[in-house]
Amino acid sequence: MFSLRDIFPETDKPLKKAIAALLVLVAFSLPFKFLVNLFIVLAFIAWLFTNPFKKLFTKTKNIKVLLAVFIFYLLHVIALLYTNNMQEGFFSLEIKISMLIFPLVFYTEEFLAKQHQFFFTSFIIGTLLCCLLCLSRAVFLYLSTHENHFYYEGLSWFQHPSYLAMYVSFCCAVLLLTNLVSKTITYVSIVFFTLFVFLLSSKTGIVIHFITLVFSFVSIFFKGKNYFKIIGVSLFGLLVSIGILFLIPHIKQRFQNVYSVFQAKSIDKTSTESTTVRMLIWNEAMQIIKQHPVIGVSPGNANDALYESYQKDGLTGAYDKKLNAHNQYLQTTLGLGLVGLLSLLSLFIAPLFSNPNKIVFLFVGISALNFLTESMFQSMAGCIFFGYFYSLICFRYDSFLPPTD
């Protein structure tokens, strides 16, 4: 449990307490999207008044991680020099600004372990409340209108299903690998979150959630050398997942669509089905990358280049919806070329060498896998999540409680 003194130590100055409170509010409000940008701005303004630049230029611990973030953002700034769409170029910088703010704040500010743990707890509570409100809304709509809002976008009230599934998976990883709450609360929460991920029906989200749970349980049992439990939990999880996939028609249909796409001899270019359209736009992105391999077309021009390619090749479904690359690796390479791709990969590599631990590995893994089907850095939901927890984990990994036995 946490006390006010844990979160706001008496020795902290009022400005430091204000920053901590705002960071708590950012974590809690992130799943809802409401006011989260305001809290980020206020936290940054408060941070500026702490005279942080002396620490910034004298501190050396985890400097490689900080440089990786700065270089990635700097490449987007430099790309303004060769973009035709300045408005989109500045917008790209705007939505990624949290990926610069949070590293600065967490790198220079010294928070206690209990404070860091409460940041995670606030996010878990916020995500849990978000899921409960989504379910309550679905029940209300069903009782009042008989409409089914228990799946996918109908259920995910505040966020796109893929992003909410990512938040939930990360919550489960933190709950399993730390002692933030009791084991009873942890496992009840895991069951609830897992059922909710299936209802969200995000194909990538379900696969990543399964991988997250298996890795977490295996790491826990491996420490205690409970090898039979490792095999048992893995098989049980696999059987439950397969059972749910076959018992719930909506989820089953979404995975059948994936199978149908890979079995089809030709792909309908007018399709808007998620798997089909992703394969189409990935191919278009690759063709553009081949023409601009080194520095790309600039983030400002990236989507315009895609839209032009969609229209030229008859991808009417993708063009009408103005879809981005739906793959962060392709989106970054499209905008910044191979230079940008290497910079993006360095964001994952740097913390694995600087701070190797299970939480870092799972956060990197969850993000890296989500990058395969979503351009996460094209939205506030992805940038804020990545910037906040990347900074919290990579710069203060020693604040975590020991893994459970």
Domain boundaries, the chain: 4-261+323-399
pTM of the model: 0.91
What percentage of the chain reaches a pLDDT higher than 70? 92
CB-based burial label for 4 (10 Å; 0-12, 13-18, 19+)? exposed
Q: Please give the mean pLDDT across all residues of the chain.
A: 88
Higher pLDDT, 56 or 404: 56
Question: Residue 251: pLDDT above 80?
Answer: no
Question: Residue 405: pLDDT above 60?
Answer: no
In one letter, which amino acid is 188? V
The pLDDT value recorded for residue 404 is 39
Higher pLDDT, 244 or 113: 113
Render pLDDT for 272-320 as a digit per residue (tens, 0 to 9): 777 888 999 999 999 999 999 999 999 999 999 999 999 999 999 899 9
Question: Residue 401: pLDDT above 70?
Answer: no
The pLDDT value recorded for residue 403 is 40
Give the gyration radius of the chain's Cα atoms: 22
Render pLDDT for 22-65 as a digit per residue (tens, 0 to 9): 999 999 999 998 899 999 999 999 999 988 887 787 777 788 89
Beta carbons within 8 Å of 41's beta carbon, 6+ residues apart: none
CB-based burial label for 345 (10 Å; 0-12, 13-18, 19+)? middle
Between the CA of residue 196 and those of 55, 128, 247, 250, what are the distances in Å? 43, 10, 15, 14
For residue 185, the tally of other CB atoms under 10 A from its CB is 11
Question: Residue 99: pLDDT above 70?
Answer: yes
Give phi and psi for 273, each to the nearest 5. -65, 135
Give the range among 148-157, 185-194, 296-305, 349-358 with minimum mean pLDDT.
Answer: 349-358
Region 133-146: mean pLDDT is 95
